[in-house]
Structure 1
Amino acid sequence: MVAVAWRSLLPVIIISTFIVYEEWVSFPSCKLLPNTTFNLDEHVGNDDDSPEDLKVMLVANLLLRGTEAGFFDLYFRYYYMSKFFKKSFQSLNPDMLLVLGDVSAKGSELSRSTWLSVLHQFNHILGPFLDLPLHVILGDRDVGECSGLDANSVNWITSNFPGLDSSGCGAFEISNISFVSLNAVALLCGNNKLLFDVEKVIERESVDLQMEIKGTDEAKNESAMFRELSYGFSWRENAMTSGSGPVLLLHFPLYQSGNSYKREVSTFKSTIDPSGHDPASAESRGFLGTGPYGLSQTVPPNATEYIFHALKPRIIFSAHTHEFSDHTHLDGTREVTVPAMSWTVRDDPGFIIATFRGNRSTVSVTYCSVARESHILTAYTSALILFLLLVIVSNTLELKGLS
């Protein structure tokens, strides 16, 4: 009788154990990163949360397919992505969500009705984050290659995301932190209307920043210099110091000089969470479906220098490469590249938490990874095999008992 009771309880035990495991691996594993600028002030009190702090979650490359998604994407990948967002919200309690492009897997090829299904999917996956301030920028997957970059199409897509103008740029302030997002795809695409519109946004933000720092009259006099810019990225120095400008948000990374300092995710790979998901090194992975541009593609050097001179960004967050990177440019500006948040392109999705410390220039950066797809599939497979073995053994024992 005891054996029969145990056999009847084992399926319940296996299913309950798997449910507990599924909930456990849905929580992110996070590690605070040291600042590459090595500023002593940046390391003071970084672990102490304050009500004045602004905690921002940054994700990229969701690569949603809407109605074109297959069964495996809909009922496995997107299901877990939704759980990752929910558990990240519960465990990290961010104040804002930033999405750095490539919401769609191939948005530039979609009809508007299919794009709307992607947006519906996007809203469903975000779950509790929809109640927070949200800002989304455009990636190359969303708007396409330079040869097909269309201002009308971009305008329609941007109208579905909060805070973006018709060119795909945005500027906003929250908790006294200024943010500027640029359509980095247009910056790669030579002489076109969208590039001119992005240039005007950079000009306007630069003038506004100088007005705050130097006074209205002096800044207005210098603004005439910026109005002469047209595709050539020619400018004079402004009086702002490096790091005094806004937080800059891009899909493509800025051009990186070989003489600057760069830390890859592999430098802190040794911290492994007990759940088995950990930041993985760039060398151990290949990429699937990486889009119209090569992974080495960055904003061109002249446009990069123009942005640095005009905006003097406090810190830069970019995406596109699917990999995490922590880079310090020659002027000391830090650029953090956000990894992909999709199993479509990497076995271990990840995201970034940036905490802007109140009353200080400090920005703390935390790398968070979520469960590997291969680990969860292995758990599913193991549970299924164990359940089938249990059924076979139970049936065999029943047959022997009857004989």
Structure 2
Amino acid sequence: MLRLSATWLVAVVLIVAVGGVFFFCEYLIYFPTILKCAWPKIGNVRAVEGSEEVRAMVLSDTHLLGAVGGHWFDKLRREWQMERAFQTALWLLRPHIVFILGDIFDEGKWSSQKHWEDDVRRFHRMFRHSTDTELVVLVGNHDIGFHYEMDWFKLQRFEKVFNASTTRIVTKKGVNFLLLNSVALHGDGCPICQSVEKELIRLSRELNCSLQVGQALSRKPHYPLYRVSDAGCTGQDAAPPEERHLLFREKYDVLSKEASQRLLQLFKPRLILSGHTHSGCEVLHENKYPEVSVPSFSWRNRNNPSIILASVSPVTYSLSKCFLPEESTVISVYCSAGACLLLLFLAHCLWMKGLLQCLSLCLLGKHKSL
């Protein structure tokens, strides 16, 4: 009876411990991490009559895996991580608007219509949100292909799903956010490039009036503006040291120098937010135009994803970075818990073996006395 009770007790402890570790690593771990984050403070947000602070959450490069190159377990794991992190951040931080800076899908550039619809369905499930929060999605090279792969069908398919042009202005509480289809800023006169170029000129003229009354302009492309490399980037989410000095290729890793200069001249943005590199970086263009590269939101691309929290008013802004649980930490918790449970199981086995030996000796002694 003692042996049976001990075995059941150990079994219950093991089951509860395994469930507890799994629940912590796959659900609870996001809460204490995101609770450490806070919206940055800015100055007087009512400097412009009728204006108020906009809380904008910015993430990038989710790369939802597709049917061709995505292993089912990798897909399940990464999508669960992003869904839990996003939903927890929405619940705790309550942003007014969320921007995802391109490369929403990993295989949008070649996916069939059936696979595209499946990817879209999974995206809407993962990034569901209330009507109090506006979700704005930009296009990236993995969504419609690099310049040589891009065509009207893939571009319009993307625009139809997200119900908006890929080059446009979103205005929130008096703040203008310019969204760019940077894949089309190739400068070779292709039909899509010409269309985007005309739209940029029109938007630039429209913005002149609003900028004169102090409305902030934040520009968000997928590609970063031209820079030689990430050599000047620092911080825990910067590119690894061995990659920082690799030279960027124009029109592939970053925008061309000409396109970058033209955009700065047309819009003179107060802040530029970009993705694509999967790593964090801060650059000051022409000593007056700050650019922040937003790291990938997927744990498939980084051990330590993060999101940008921006408090923006028509006259100023402030940024902070919110780091998410590290993959290495989750793996360490699983390994440590597994080792402890294994030791507990082995200790139980040894204890049961000793108990059986003791009972055998007792029975043998009684037998001899008889």
Q: TM-score, normalised by structure 2?
A: 0.80
- Following TM superposition, by how much is the alpha carbon of 1:151 offset from its aligned partner in structure 2, in angstroms? 1.7
Provide the residue aligned with 2:368 in structure 1: none
Match of 1:283 among 223, 229, 240: 240
- Structure 1 residues 179 and 117: alpha-carbon distance in aligned structure 2, compared to 1, 3 A threshold: same
Cα pair 2:53 2:312 within 8 Å, conserved? yes
Amino acid aligned to 2:89: S
Listed as ranges, the matches of 1:11-50 within 5 Å are 11=14, 12-13=16-17, 15-16=19-20, 19-20=23-24, 22-27=26-31, 28=33, 44=43
Provide the residue aligned with 1:81 in structure 2: 82
Q: Distance in 2 between matches of 1:314 and 1:129?
A: 29
Amino acid aligned to 1:118: D
- Structure 1 residues 120 and 10: alpha-carbon distance in aligned structure 2, compared to 1, 3 A threshold: same
Listed as ranges, the matches of 1:2-401 within 5 Å are 4=6, 7=10, 10-11=13-14, 12-13=16-17, 15-16=19-20, 19-20=23-24, 22-27=26-31, 28=33, 44=43, 52-68=52-68, 69-128=70-129, 132-163=133-164, 165=165, 168-188=166-186, 190-212=188-210, 246-256=217-227, 264-266=233-235, 279-284=236-241, 297-330=253-286, 332-357=288-313, 361-401=315-355
- Structure 1 residues 70 and 115: alpha-carbon distance in aligned structure 2, compared to 1, 3 A threshold: same
Amino acid aligned to 1:183: N
Q: Distance in 1 between matches of 2:336 and 2:37?
A: 30
Q: Distance in 1 between matches of 2:332 and 2:73?
A: 15
- Following TM superposition, by how much is the alpha carbon of 1:265 offset from its aligned partner in structure 2, in angstroms? 4.1
- The count of corresponding residues between Structure 1 and Structure 2 is 342
Cα pair 1:18 1:383 within 8 Å, conserved? no
Q: Distance in 1 between matches of 2:109 and 2:24?
A: 40
- Following TM superposition, by how much is the alpha carbon of 1:339 offset from its aligned partner in structure 2, in angstroms? 0.7
- Following TM superposition, by how much is the alpha carbon of 1:354 offset from its aligned partner in structure 2, in angstroms? 1.0
Q: Distance in 1 between matches of 2:237 and 2:287?
A: 29
Q: Distance in 1 between matches of 2:44 and 2:154?
A: 46
Q: Distance in 1 between matches of 2:28 and 2:242?
A: 25
Cα pair 1:180 1:249 within 8 Å, conserved? yes
Q: Which consecutive unaligned segments of at least 5 residues does structure 2 have? A: 46-50, 358-370
- Following TM superposition, by how much is the alpha carbon of 1:55 offset from its aligned partner in structure 2, in angstroms? 0.7
- Following TM superposition, by how much is the alpha carbon of 1:65 offset from its aligned partner in structure 2, in angstroms? 1.6
- Following TM superposition, by how much is the alpha carbon of 1:182 offset from its aligned partner in structure 2, in angstroms? 1.1
- Following TM superposition, by how much is the alpha carbon of 1:248 offset from its aligned partner in structure 2, in angstroms? 1.0
Q: Distance in 2 between matches of 1:212 and 1:295?
A: 31
Amino acid aligned to 1:306: R
Q: Distance in 1 between matches of 2:207 and 2:271?
A: 15
Secondary structure of 2:148's match? helix
- Following TM superposition, by how much is the alpha carbon of 1:348 offset from its aligned partner in structure 2, in angstroms? 1.2
Flag the structure with larger Rg.
2
Q: Distance in 1 between matches of 2:279 and 2:100?
A: 15
Secondary structure of 2:95's match? coil
Amino acid aligned to 2:259: A
Secondary structure of 1:149's match? coil
Q: Distance in 1 between matches of 2:168 and 2:210?
A: 19
Cα pair 2:284 2:290 within 8 Å, conserved? yes
- Following TM superposition, by how much is the alpha carbon of 1:53 offset from its aligned partner in structure 2, in angstroms? 1.6
Q: Distance in 2 between matches of 1:209 and 1:284?
A: 40
Q: TM-score, normalised by structure 1?
A: 0.74
Secondary structure of 1:390's match? helix
Provide the residue aligned with 2:367 in structure 1: none
Q: Distance in 2 between matches of 1:130 and 1:293?
A: 40
**Aligned-residue identity in percent:** 24
Q: Distance in 2 between matches of 1:148 and 1:64?
A: 19
Secondary structure of 1:109's match? coil
